[in-house]
Amino acid sequence: MLARIVFAILALLAGLPAAAQTLVVSDKPDSVAVTLYRDPNRNEGALGRGWPAGYALVTETRTLRLPAGPAVIRFVGVSEGMMPETAIVTGLPHGVGEKNRDARLLGPATLVDAYLKRRVTVRRTDPATGKVSESEGVIQSGPRGGVLLSTEQGVEALGCSGLPEALVYPGIPADLAAKPTLSVSTASARAETVTVQLSYLAQGLDWSANYVAQLGEGDVLDLFGWMTVVNGGSQGFADARASAVAGKPNRERAARLPRGPDTELRLQCWPMGRTSDGMGFPPGPVAEPAPPPPPPPAPAMEIVVTGARVAFAPAMMAEQEELGDLKLYRVPEPVTVAARATKQIALLHRERVQFARIYRGRFTPFAYDPARESESEPTEIVLRAENRTAAGLGLPLPAGSVALFDTRGGRRVLLGESPLADRAVGDELELRPGESSEVRATVTARPGSKRRWNFRIAATNALAVPVVFEMPIPFRDTKSSTRLALRKGVPTWRVTVPANGTAALDLTLKRDR
């Protein structure tokens, strides 16, 4: 019986005109929780610029005063990237009858568009005397490419008279919202105060891990990690309970998020030169810009200055929790994720992490040519570590980027940056900060046969200390002067090259017919 009553109320609500519904406005949430998910197409590396391609689950708690009868509730200040089809409202006495995402935001351009063919007041100020004059006009065209007005003086272009000008409107149209808004229709049998939860997925947010690695004495480093959160939308989240999910939960492709009209007004005028200058034509309309990029993360050196304080306990650090096969990093205190901004929260800290320094060469076979001179190539620097407690780590590492620093003459020097994929406990991780011109590899082709290729590989070390050199040889049916090691299923030449010395390998490959 109760279900029939609820259905009858909702059916009646759908058939009532908008005027019969009381408007209830919720200006802001009482509290908000934001759970961030990474861009599923970004495996590692730093966050990209522009509109972030990650998403978030936003849960807002709001207190409303419902009237008796049908009502329309306007949830003001939802995320700009809100996907309305995912919105769920709980706590209303009789549920939701209809949802509408209001995408038209209040701004100079949208006001002009709303008042097309309508009367407005044109206010001009004489810069010499400060005298303000007002006259009436009708907006005939705009806002793209400029605004044309019909006044007592004729047809004028806004902003082209040489005087400071402004338009004064008699009111704000009801269909323009100052902030992104979700409207829902509902009904209540009596007037009451309710606490509701609004949950939805929102685009335009993303997060990544950013690590600072400081080399120490010997083959050890200190590792400090940041949780970097980017909000590309126009709405911030004040005092939010924030968390981030590491891993790749399955997500179906979402519908393209409809964007409202541009709120910025761009005025254009005809050239005001002499007739001898030629008439020319006014420039075409300016293309709509992409969503503004978020501010870049703090510069690496600033991060290092902050990271230098890790000898003391950070004021706040994210707490890791298990979430099935995923990892959840919960911020223990409320934080503000501002609009179009970047936020960083301490994620992890490990000291004296053991690593091995490797210099890796690249092998690419080529045909013997007596006229070809072999040239040496720089090697890739690889810092290899085991994600184990015994090696100084032993905790999951979310994907991101690593900035590697060393100390020279009492100052920190950036050695390079390296991407880092998700690494579980027990995994091996490699940091690749750059190339070395001091340790080089030379591959020389030698005369062979129709069935064999012959090569000589030389590794030279100009450093004053021995180094470990590796070169993967990803081919079958090989013969070499030194036995090749098997690393991750790939035959690899691994050798210690003495200081200011050279190591060599003779290699024969079977040619494909």
Per residue in 162-173, pLDDT (tens digit) is 778 888 888 877
pLDDT digits (tens, 9 = 90+) for 346-388: 999 999 999 999 999 999 988 888 878 889 999 999 999 999 9
Q: For position 292, what pLDDT does the model report?
A: 41
In a domain, 230, yes or no: no
Pairing of strands 69-76, 55-66: unpaired
Buried b (16+ CB within 10 A) or exposed e, 219-247: ebbbbbbbbbbbbbbbbbbeebbbbbbbb
Which run of H or E residues covers position 114?
helix 108-114
Would 481 be classed as within a structural domain?
A: yes
Answer whether residue 319 is part of any domain: no
Residue 501 in tokens: 């010395």
Give a yes or no: residue 83 inside a domain: no
**283 assigned to some structural domain:** no
Q: From residue 411, how far is each of 86, 105, 285, 350, 456 by CA, in Å?
A: 51, 50, 51, 21, 42
C-alpha to C-alpha distance for 484 and 461, rounded to whole angstroms: 20
What residue numbers bound the domain in which 481 lies? 356-386+431-510
Q: Which of 121, 149, 168 is the last residue of a domain?
A: 168
Q: How many domains does the chain have?
A: 2
pTM of the full predicted structure?
0.74
Q: CB within 8 A of 506, min separation 6: which ones? A: 454, 455, 456, 457, 480, 481
Residue 192 in domain? no
> Would you say residue 449 lies in a domain?
yes
Q: What single-letter amino acid sits at 355?
A: F
pLDDT of 293 higher than 50: no
Q: Tell me whether residue 476 is in a domain.
A: yes
Mean pLDDT value across the chain: 83
Domain boundary among 140, 168, 196: 168
Of 152, 168, 184, the last residue of a domain is 168
The CATH number of the domain holding residue 465 is 2.60.40.1180
Query: How far apart are the C-alpha atoms of 415 and 433, rounded to whole Å?
Result: 7
pLDDT band at 291 (very low <50, low <70, confident <90, very high): very low
Q: pLDDT band for position 263 (50/70/90)?
A: low
61 bridge partner residues: 31, 197
